Amino acid sequence: MISKPKIKRWIIGKTNFASSNQRIGILGGSFNPSHDGHIKISEAALKKLNLDIIWWVVSPRNPLKKYDVLFDFKKRTSSAKNKLKTSKIIINDIEQRTGTIYTIGTIEYLKKKYPNTKFIWIMGADNLRYFHLWMEWEKIIKEIPIAIIDRPSSSLDVSSTIFANKYKKYRIDENDASYIINSKKPCWIFLHNKLNFNSSTEIRKKLKIYNQNDR
C-alpha cells in the first residue's frame, strides 16, 4: 500500500459501525489461529484502558512474517469468532474488505470513516521489538495512542527497543491508563498483565504433530 492512499475510495457502505466518542481498542494480527493469549490481552485492555469494545482486525497476511502455515482467512475469522464468549470483542475484516496491507493504512481509513470515535492501537509486547520495521511506524504513533500489553519473555525487552528509546518521553504512566485515549499524541503505555504463554506458532506446531500422528 502506498504511504498516502486514496482513502475516499475505501469509504464504502454505512458508517454506523462505530459511534461518536466510543472508545475502541484495535488489536491487529493474523490470528493464525487465535488463542487465549489474544483474549487475555483484550480483557486487560478493556479493563485498564476503560474501553467500550475491542476490534480484532484480522490481517489477510502480515508482510513482515514468514509463515510455516497460513490458514485460510475465512477459517481464521471463523475460528476467532468461535473463541469469543463476550460481545465486548468483535471480529473485524476491514483489511480484507478494503485491501489494506499495512497498519498505517488501516488507521488512516478508520480515522477518516469514524472521525469522532476514539481509537487506540493494542499490541503484545513481543511485537514491539520489530515495530520500527513496520511501514511508516513513526507516523502510526503520531496518528493513534498505542497500548503495549506484557507478554512472556518480553517485559525486559521493551525498554531496549528502538521505539521505546526514541519515544521514551511520551510514555504514559500505567496508573493513568484510562486517560491515554484522550492524551495528546504521540503517546504510548506499557501495561503489566498476568502472563499467558499461548502462541499461534506453538498451536500450529501442535496441530502439525497431531496431523502427522493421525495418519
CATH class of 20-213: alpha beta
Domain ranges of the chain: 20-213
Which range has the top average pLDDT, 3-12, 93-102, 139-148? 139-148
Beta strands in 23-180 (DSSP E): 23-29, 53-58, 89-92, 118-124, 146-149, 171-172
Q: What is the pLDDT of residues 51-60, one digit of tens each?
A: 999 999 999 9
Q: Are 5 and 108 in contact (CB under 8 A)?
A: yes
Q: What is the pLDDT of residues 161-199, one digit of tens each?
A: 999 999 999 999 999 999 999 999 999 999 998 755 555
- Cα gap 123→4, rounded to integer Å: 24
Which is more confident, 23 or 98? 23
Contacts of 165 (CB under 8 A, 6+ apart): 159
Q: Which three cell numbers stand for residue 200?
A: 499461534
| Across 63-87, average pLDDT | 90
Nearest residue to 28 (alpha-carbon basis) of 107, 97, 81: 107
Q: Which three cell numbers stand for residue 100?
A: 489494506
